[in-house]
Structure 1
Amino acid sequence: MNLLTALRAHRIVAIVRGDDADGALRTVLTLAEEHIPLIEVSLSGRDALDVIRRARAELGPAAPLGAGTVLTAQDARAAHDAGADFIVTPAVCEGITAARELRLPVLAGVMTPTDIVEARRLGADALKIFPAAQAGGPEYLRALRGPFPGEPFVPVGGVDAEAARLHLAQGAVAVGVGSPLIGDAADGGDIGGLRARARVFLDAVAVDTAGRAEAGR
């Protein structure tokens, strides 16, 4: 898959991390039904590799499906074997180089300018500013875009619907959203609430006919 094209098209990555594997699988399938196709299953969740395998079988080979919290080469290989077709890391780590060796695109976790330069040197396709809220939110993104105006940034961490609008208005190519979207669904909780939140976030990341975030006009 072309990860950067997909990020620009869909503008949101849903991050599924849960303590209930069946609940996590239901969450992935519900997000796909609600037209949030870029979905990352964090390896820190319960039985995450099995969730990825089962989700791949349900969604088919063409659906984007990522593995997150990939730190090591072993993580990257296991995610690839389970059916993930993109990789997300929380930091600049060997998961990036291993994923690139497997020809998997990478959304690499960065915080500092040094991280940005190193992640791109290692072959990262896009840059996950993490944790975005603690780093300073949209204002930190605006500051980074000064020396790095063309880099594809994806803020992740504490991004609610309003923060999503603000980050996109500051030039993020997409946002990554975990608990503000998922709630308790991946722990076996409310799927109806997940559907409602998915629609709120889809509205938040919608673009007008000029291709600008609604919040950026």
Structure 2
Amino acid sequence: MAIVRVDTIDRGLKIAEGCLNGGVDVLEISYTNNNAGEVIKALKKKFGSPLLIGAGTVLDSETARLAILNGAEFIIAPTFNKNIAELANIYQIPYEPGCSTYTEIVEALKYGAYFIKAFPISNFYGSKLVDIFTTPVPTLPILASGGITLDNLSEWIKAGVMTVGAGGLLTKGSKEEITANAKEMREIVVANR
């Protein structure tokens, strides 16, 4: 999954095209930018169903609802929030909160979290955290976000994460560079699944 923070819709479209050309068909549009809803709407209009588009850095239920109304198909947050979880359940939209402790993880699962986003701790612990998190709950669906590189991606996949989020690898440079990185990431995932 590409984690996208863009100032313009045009740049978002180029990133999406590069990702799709490389075999990455999931984008998280971060609400750290004021235009996130407009970017989501434009991407849905241009690409439709071949591209799965969600909203990221969603901190409250109001933002989650706006994102859903703009076409977001999933909600990702750096923290767990009961109100967002309830809203996502009402709209039948997957919710993926960031959790750092087992108490947060269990609470998020009770509220229907689709994935648990290992953030920001994935930067500090690396793929070793998968074993730690899955020991009590072996089927825990983990989204690793932060610190994912071409060099360590295979470690994350072998450790058992369900998905990974990458920022710079899939958003920086030309459309062709994004496509090349997306292809390489896809190959690593397929080879290590």
Indicate whether the TM-score tops 0.5: yes
Greater Cα shift, 61-70 or 45-54 = 61-70
1:70 to 30, 42, 58: 58
TM-score (norm 2): 0.91
Task: Provide the C-alpha distance between the structure 2 equivalents of 1:41 and 1:50, rounded to a whole number of angstroms.
Answer: 10
Q: In the alignment, what sits opposite 1:105?
A: 94
The count of aligned residue pairs is 192
In the TM superposition, structure 1's runs of 4+ consecutive aligned residues that sit over 6 Å from their partners are: none
Q: In the alignment, what sits opposite 1:6?
A: none
CA-atom RMSD in angstroms:
1.7
What are the superposed Cα offsets for residues 45-102 of structure 1, whole Å, 9 maximum, x if unpaired?
A: 3511111000000112464211111111111111111111111111101322222222
Q: Residue 165 of structure 2 aligns to a residue in which SS?
A: strand
How far residue 163 of structure 1 moved from its aligned partner, in angstroms, is 2.1
Greater Cα shift, 65-74 or 54-63 = 54-63
How far residue 203 of structure 1 moved from its aligned partner, in angstroms, is 1.4
Q: In the alignment, what sits opposite 1:162?
A: 151
- Identity level (%): 29
Q: Does residue 200 in structure 1 map to residue 184 in structure 2?
A: yes
How far residue 120 of structure 1 moved from its aligned partner, in angstroms, is 0.5
Q: In the alignment, what sits opposite 2:142?
A: 153
Matches within 5 A, 1:51-200: 51-61=39-49, 63-93=51-81, 94-183=83-172, 185=173, 190-200=174-184
TM-score (norm 1): 0.82
Q: Residue 151 of structure 1 aligns to a residue in which SS?
A: coil
Q: Residue 28 of structure 1 aligns to a residue in which SS?
A: helix
* AA at the equivalent of 1:129: A
Task: Provide the C-alpha distance between the structure 2 equivalents of 1:180 and 1:112, rounded to a whole number of angstroms.
Answer: 28
Check 1:25–1:46 CA distance in 2 against 1; reply closer, same or farther (3 A cut). Answer: farther
Check 1:137–1:19 CA distance in 2 against 1; reply closer, same or farther (3 A cut). Answer: same
Check 1:172–1:61 CA distance in 2 against 1; reply closer, same or farther (3 A cut). Answer: closer
Task: Provide the C-alpha distance between the structure 1 equivalents of 2:46 and 2:179, rounded to a whole number of angstroms.
Answer: 19
Task: Provide the C-alpha distance between the structure 2 equivalents of 1:50 and 1:25, rounded to a whole number of angstroms.
Answer: 12
How far residue 174 of structure 1 moved from its aligned partner, in angstroms, is 1.5
Check 1:22–1:62 CA distance in 2 against 1; reply closer, same or farther (3 A cut). Answer: closer
How far residue 175 of structure 1 moved from its aligned partner, in angstroms, is 1.1
Contact 2:27 2:51 in 1 (8 A): no
